[in-house]
Homo-oligomer: A and B are copies of this chain.
Amino acid sequence: MSLKLYYDLMSQPSRALYILLKSVKCNFESKYVDLRKGEHYSEEYSKVNRLQKVPVIEHNGFVLTESVAIINYLSREGIIPNNLYPIESKSRALVQEYLEWQHLGLRLHCAMFFRVKYMDPILFGRSPSEEQIKGYEQRMLSALELLDTKWLGGRTEFIAGNSITVADLMAACELEQPRMAGFDPKEKFPNIAAWWPKVKQHFNPYYDEAHIILNKIVQKQQKITSKL
């Protein structure tokens, strides 16, 4: 079996797949794609993924993009165990319900806040206005409110039931992103604050390992802000 993972740990779904594969002791080949250097736009990488994004897997020569499609495929191929992604039809449906909701329900808003407030000034020297940041922040807060109250919020211990699944890992990795732009979701959302450490604990030491660079950026940003 040959499995390659193309990723950058700055990307949320890349981290989720990296952690997942490490935690199930899958012996994959690391293919690092440096997003900050624009390596995903290179001719070489465009041959791997015509859509020029990470993560991507190559499994015995079969190339697949899109993290949720990758998780589904790896589950069918026996690489992701059933305890993290149940095969019983209704239980699996509830995990997939979250994974589908996440794209426009959570990911969009956390990623846009991160991009506009943190990435764009670095990459393009573009400074957003206070009003723009506020708009993105407001949409992110509404999304987090839904995660906190409609997906968590005492219904069940985890997102798709009382057992941890790939849905929790995907969500947790999304929530790390706005921390780099100075916003920590656990400070305002009690259900997220109670659930998040359980996800980290389950996937450690790999969760922390995948977030080393991200956490360094968070600390650096905190130092800059505290000096202002």
Task: Fill in one digit per residue for A85-115: 1 if any B CB lies within 8 Å of its CB, else 0.
Answer: 0000110111011011101110110000000
Picked from B51, B66, B72, B103, the residue with its CB within 8 Å of the CB of A146 is: B51
Residue of B nearest to A99 (CB): B69
By the criterion CB–CB under 8 Å, are B89 and A51 in contact?
no
Q: How far is the CA of A51 from the CA of B103 in the complex (A)?
A: 15
By the criterion CB–CB under 8 Å, are B100 and A76 in contact?
no
Tell me whether A76 and B89 are in contact in the complex, defined as CB-CB below 8 angstroms, given that A99-B69, A104-B104 are known contacts: yes
Copies in the complex: 2
> Does A62 make an interface contact (CB < 8 A)?
yes
By the criterion CB–CB under 8 Å, are B150 and A50 in contact?
yes
> Does A68 make an interface contact (CB < 8 A)?
yes
By the criterion CB–CB under 8 Å, are A96 and B108 in contact?
no
By the criterion CB–CB under 8 Å, are B50 and A97 in contact?
no
By the criterion CB–CB under 8 Å, are B51 and A68 in contact?
no
By the criterion CB–CB under 8 Å, are A96 and B51 in contact?
no
**Within 8 Å CB of A214, what residues of B?**
none
Residue of B nearest to A73 (CB): B93
By the criterion CB–CB under 8 Å, are A68 and B100 in contact?
yes
In chain A, positions 140-178 with a C-beta closer than 8 Å to chain B are 146, 150
Tell me whether A66 and B100 are in contact in the complex, defined as CB-CB below 8 angstroms, given that A73-B89, A73-B93 are known contacts: yes
Can you list 16 residue pairs at the A/B interface with Cβ under 8 Å?
A50-B150, A51-B105, A51-B146, A51-B150, A62-B93, A64-B93, A65-B101, A66-B97, A69-B96, A69-B99, A73-B89, A73-B92, A76-B89, A100-B103, A104-B107, A108-B108
Chain A interface (Cβ within 8 Å of chain B)?
Answer: 50-51, 62, 64-69, 72-73, 76-77, 89-90, 92-94, 96-97, 99-101, 103-105, 107-108, 146, 150
Give me 20 other A-B pairs in contact (C-beta within 8 A), A72-B93, A73-B96 excluded: A50-B150, A51-B105, A51-B146, A62-B90, A64-B94, A64-B97, A66-B96, A68-B96, A68-B100, A69-B97, A69-B99, A72-B92, A72-B96, A73-B89, A73-B90, A73-B93, A76-B93, A100-B103, A103-B103, A104-B108
